[in-house]
Amino acid sequence: MSEIEIKQMQEKINAGILLARKRLIEKVKKEDGELVVVRDGKIVRLKAKDLK
């Protein structure tokens, strides 16, 4: 693969990750659930009402 193709692939992957994150947050909000994330090396639970 050329450098241009690699860059295009990276951009598509990044766009896919952002879309998946957006959909996950929307789903959690819709179900009034919570997300479990790592912040500063600690496991944190975020309630749907606290999400942007």
Reported as a single tens digit per residue, the pLDDT across 28-48 is: 999 999 999 999 999 999 998
* SS3 (DSSP) at 44: strand
Question: pTM score, two decimals?
Answer: 0.76
Alpha helices in the chain (DSSP H): 3-30
Does residue 52 register a pLDDT over 80? Answer: no
